Amino acid sequence: MGAAEKQMRQALPALLIPADVAERVYRAWYTTVEAADYLRITRAALLKHVERGHLVPDNRNAAGRIAGHRFRRETLERFMGGD
């Protein structure tokens, strides 16, 4: 475990977000369900934002199914910021 990871793990209790969500902050891609958790909205609400064009997925699975959306953290943060 590197110094940065150790420091992050020690800071987790002080964060206002659940630990499992904080752990995903460093992942490259979020599934539909993980993105909804990160945004603190339901999966249905996230899909409604995608359907209306307010949130554009960064990638989809090969079949192009709605459940196959993939998001980058930067995309989710832009969406939260309203940019």
Full residue range of the structural domain in which residue 58 is found: 3-81
Domain count, the chain: 1
The 3-state DSSP class for residue 63 equals coil
Report how far residue 4's alpha carbon sits from residue 19's, in angstroms, rounded to the nearest whole number: 16
Residue 28 belongs to a domain with what CATH number?
A: 1.10.1660
Report how far residue 19's alpha carbon sits from residue 57's, in angstroms, rounded to the nearest whole number: 24
Residue 59 has a pLDDT of: 85
Name residues of the chain where pLDDT drops below 50.
Answer: none
Q: Report if pTM > 0.75.
A: no
Tens digits of residue pLDDT in 34-46: 999 999 999 999 9
Torsion angle of the four alpha carbons 18, 23, 28, 33, in this order, in degrees rounded to the nearest 10: -40
